[in-house]
Amino acid sequence: MLSATTDILDAAVRGGHGVGAFNVVQLEHAYALVEGAERAGTALVLQISENCARYHGSLAPLVLAALAVAADASVPVAVHLDHIESPELVERGLDLGVASVMFDASADPYADNVARTREIVRRCHDRGVGVEAELGEVGGKDGVHAPGARTDPAEAAAYVAATGVDALAVAVGSSHAMRTRDAVLDFDRIAELRAAVAVPLVLHGASGVPDADLARAVRAGLTKVNISTHLNAAFTRAARAALAADPALVDPRRYLGPARAAVATEAARLLGVLDAVPAGAVRTRETR
Please give the positions annotated as active site.
Answer: 82
CA atoms within 13 A on the CB side of 16: 12
How far the first Cα of the chain sits from its last, in Å, is: 12
Phi and psi, residue 176, nearest 5°: -65, 150
Question: What are 103's strand-pairing partners?
Answer: 84, 133
Phi and psi, residue 178, nearest 5°: -70, 140
CA atoms within 13 A on the CB side of 266: 22
Please report, for residues 220, 236, 239, 247, 266, the alpha-carbon distance to residue 2 in angstroms, rounded to integers and kept in the order given. Answer: 29, 28, 29, 40, 22
Distance of CA 212 to the CA centre of its chain: 19
- DSSP state, residue 275: T
243-261 b/e with 16+ CB inside 10 Å = b?
A: eeeeeeeeeeeebbebbbb
| Nearby residues of 113 by Cβ (< 8 Å), 6 or more positions away | 105, 106, 133, 135, 159
